[in-house]
Amino acid sequence: MGSWSSLKEIANQVNSGEVKAVQLAERSLGMVEKCSEYRAIIAAAKERALARAGEIDEKVTKGEKAGRLAGVPFIAKDNFLAFGANTTAASNILKPFSAPYQATAIEKLEAEGAILIAKSNLDAFAHGSSTENSDFFTTKNPHDQVRVPGGSSGGSAAAVALDIAPFALGTDTGGSIRQPAGFCGVVGYKPTYGLVSRSGVVAMASSTDVIGPLAASVADAGLVLDVVAGRDELDSTTIERDEKSYADLDDQIIGKRVGVIKEYMSEGLTSGVEQAVRNSIKKLQDSGAEITEVSLPSLPLALATYYIVCPAEVSSNLARYDGQRYGYFDSSATDLISSYELSREKGFGAEAKRRIMIGTYVLSSGYYDAYYKKAQLVRTKIINEFSEAFSKFDILLGPTSPTTAFKIGARTHDPLSMYLSDIMTVAANMSGNPAISVPAGESEGLPVGVQFIGPMRGDRSLLGFAKAYGDLG
């Protein structure tokens, strides 16, 4: 059937009775099966999806409006608590877990008529940049099956690129929406920290985790954000949303002050990625943007800072998975201590264990000042440098990743090399700024993403700029 219509068009067709929600759900479920070789999906929520589609069609038949996303199928990364399928976070330790309630983001989408079709694959607990750390299987890149889709939201990015559904939810802790979006050739949006509730989402690093959409267009991403954004009493870190709609964008390039991040344009880019980004800069300049180079001197320290702060929070957040309350329990244990040890030993994968060990180390009494405290000081410096830059610029620009999608297995035995995949994206998580990856052409047949970063709470203007860029073609 080809690509999906825009989310607005789909909802209008369903609300008018022109298209049945059941037909859309069946189409999406059919794509799950058709694209199974790419292994983007962990589990489908078939029965519940079809039941909800039937309810929406019945509502429309009665002459009632079914919502701004009426009948729109979507995919959720499998670290979102949702009904209809287990929530595993792609980890063996959560394999048997059935969610007792749904994430706030899922609830908001369903309230507007969206239909959850399936849960997508990810690096277990979102620990990774390639989806190879899933305890179940590795997702394949839709553009080349021997390459990774990126991570940790690789399953969500691949699902959108494969047209399994018109949009997907992901989480972005250090680039986990934007990097896979760049690798798979779709739009990936990381909102301002706290703009979308994290309630009901399996925590990775709580001070940098952000919920956001992956979609075929910036307009679709804006509509999803408009539905899920805003304060939530279940998440004390949420902030007030913009009074104006994120779906009604003032897309403009003329006169925008764009800072090209010097450190990102000299950080080991492949020639193809650099050329694609420079082509994007020229398009913006030709369209009336004021382009200037800008330096943020602390950016080369962002990755090291992230991989101290993030594992520290991971080690704390994973302490709850102990085999006692929910999740995997090792039945061979003979006492409480062996139950803890065996359940965590067999339930956690290698990357989860690595991050627990690193995090516990940097938080220990002998090393807290040497590592964690210094990392937080550098984090503050990064925040201040972004703040200063946005006193002079409206948008900051750089590549989403220094390379295109790498081959499956190429970095699995070198964790440091894998961590470098996030070198262009982690700073926006450390600072809390909104950022978006938009397709910027190809290099040797593989997608390249360009990244735009906006000021804190500047989501609406950032989306408008990104939409205008996308409209340039």
From the list 20, 59, 77, 256, the catalytic residue is 77
Active site residue 140: no
**CA distances in angstroms from 265 to 51, 182, 382, listed in the order given:** 50, 16, 18
- The yes-or-no answer on residue 153 being catalytic is no
Q: Class assignment of domain 1-473?
A: alpha beta
Give the model's pLDDT for residue 2. Answer: 60
Q: What is the pLDDT of residue 75?
A: 98
Confidence (pLDDT) at 326: 87
pLDDT value for 96: 87
Query: Pick from 37, 40, 48: which is nearest to 77 by CA?
Result: 40
pLDDT tens across the length of the chain (473 residues): 469 999 999 999 999 999 999 999 999 999 999 999 999 999 999 999 999 999 999 999 999 999 999 999 999 999 999 999 999 999 999 998 999 999 999 999 999 999 999 999 999 999 999 999 999 999 999 999 999 999 999 999 999 999 999 999 999 999 999 999 999 999 999 999 999 999 999 999 999 999 999 999 999 999 999 999 999 999 999 999 999 999 999 889 999 999 999 999 987 899 999 999 999 999 999 999 999 999 999 999 999 999 999 999 999 999 999 999 888 999 999 999 999 999 999 999 999 999 999 999 999 998 999 999 999 999 999 999 999 999 999 999 999 999 999 999 999 989 888 988 899 999 999 999 999 999 999 999 999 999 999 999 999 999 999 999 999 98
Which residue shows structure tokens 């359940």? 343
Least Cα distance to 173 among 392, 401, 466, 430 occurs for 430
Q: Is the dihedral of CA 245, 249, 250, 255 positive or negative?
A: positive
The whole-angstrom separation of Cα 421 and Cα 409 is: 14
Residue 250, pLDDT score:
87
152 classed as catalytic: yes
Of 130, 152, 156, 315, the catalytic one is 152
The per-residue pLDDT for 1 is 42
Q: From CA 56, how far away is CA 268, in angstroms rounded?
A: 50
- What pLDDT does residue 39 have? 98
Domain extents for the chain?
1-473
Show the tokens assigned to 145: 């099956």
CA distances from 177 to 7, 328, 470 (A): 19, 28, 18
Predicted structure pTM score: 0.97
Single out the catalytic residue among 134, 176, 197, 298.
176
Overall size of the chain counted in residues: 473
Residue 226 CA, distance from chain mean position: 16
10, 166 in Cβ contact below 8 A? yes
Spatial distance between the Cα atoms of 75 and 86, rounded to a whole number of angstroms: 14
